[in-house]
Amino acid sequence: MSQVQVESEFPIKKNLARRTRLSRIKNQCIRFISTQRIGLISALFIILVIIVAISAPVIAPFDPVEQNREAFLAAPDVQHLMGTDDLGRDVFSRIIYGARISLLVGFATVIISIILGTIIGMISGFFGGVVDMIIQRVMDSIMAIPALILALFIAALLGPAVKNVIIALVIIEIPRFARIVRGEMMRIRETNYVEASRSVGANALRIIMRHGLPNMMAPIIVMASLAFGQTIIAEASLSFLGIGTPPPNPSWGLMLSNASRYMESAPWLVFFPGVALSLLVLAFNLLGDALRDFLDPKLSS
**pLDDT tens-place string over residues 122-140:** 888 888 888 889 998 999 8
One-letter amino acid at 101 equals: I
Q: Which amino acid is at 70?
A: E
> What are the backbone dihedrals phi and psi of residue 84, each rounded to the nearest 5 degrees, phi first?
-125, 165
CA–CA distance, 170 with 156 (Å, rounded to integer): 15
Q: Which amino acid is at 229?
A: G
Asked if residue 235 lies in contact with residue 169, where contact means CB atoms within 8 angstroms, the answer is yes
Convert the pLDDT of each residue in 164-220 to its tens digit: 899 999 999 999 999 988 888 888 877 777 777 777 777 777 777 777 777 788 888
d(C-alpha 103, C-alpha 97), whole Å:
10
Give the pLDDT score at 200.
76
Return the SS3 of 84.
strand
Would you call the peptide bond into 248 cis, given omega within 30 degrees of 0 as the criterion? yes
pLDDT at position 258: 86
CATH number of 36-300: 1.10.3720.10
Classified as helix, coil or strand, 70 is: coil
* Largest separation between any pair of C-alpha atoms in the chain: 85
For 177, residues 6+ apart whose C-beta sits below 8 A from its C-beta are 113, 114, 116, 117, 118, 121, 220, 223, 227
DSSP-assigned beta bridge partners for residue 84: 90
CA–centroid distance for 97 within its chain: 18
Stated pTM of the model:
0.83
Query: What residues of the chain score a pLDDT lower than 70?
Result: 1-19, 21, 296-301
pLDDT of residue 297: 55
Model pLDDT, residue 112:
94
- Sign for the CA dihedral angle at 172, 173, 174, 180 comes to positive
| Listed residue (61, 86, 45, 52) closest to 262, CA to CA | 86
Q: How many CB atoms lie within 10 A of CB 107?
A: 15
